[in-house]
Chains A and B, each alone.
Chain A
């Protein structure tokens, strides 16, 4: 199936979760905020939030410098 991550199409295995997607994007250890179809997904829910074909995600990385 295909989901849209930050405006770009991303192919991912059927039945994948948000956690799996973050792992594929190598973002699972980084401070990120995830919005799925316009709603916040909490970190504790990453592993039990399944993705569906056509889902739209915005994933924002927070950086700490300044």
Chain B
């Protein structure tokens, strides 16, 4: 049980799990960081990303490398209607957004079940098979997720630190009124942040559905894991998401393998409770100004 081979496999599983959690958490934390919206419809928007990828890649045979970002782009563009009709009413209203967006979540997955049926489907991987690293195993779909999560994290970090729009977004996240006094159009920044957040949710959803299965109800788990990763790392913090995702993925892999899934769940949620008591703003978050 504690052989180097098993330990190596546990490490590989931990890395791929961390990548999945980072990917599904990025859009969630962005929406909270900028607009103070707790997006409980995040899972359903990820699910829509899964269906978009399914139809583009398996039904319309769009090449995979194009289908993945295109699916996210389609969902993000269409969701601007939701931004106008629903999300806009909840900006800077954290508690109202929780309740309102639970309703949106239910509406989205129920509609999906009516349109596409309740059964689970598979999105085939473009490079089928399992890679053997000596005695260790790594599936192609998990390899895709690891690279996509790393690339997305780096691209988003570069965007928020090196571009005018990204810097404006960070300024609006820190203080809306001061940002407006500096000439930043926060309305436009909100729409941009919303678009990027949903793009990332849908991107994560497509890869999540490919790695697991696609169904109208697949969003529940990514939402929960995103919530936990973001609370661990700090609501609204991008480096916090990376740290939260790594802690969550590695804990689940190591504790789950050596001590069982019940202990793993106990340790994970125990850590969340501890963080909320000792450091409610998360490991890398910043406390709300009183």
Please indicate whether A and B come from the same complex rather than being unrelated chains: no
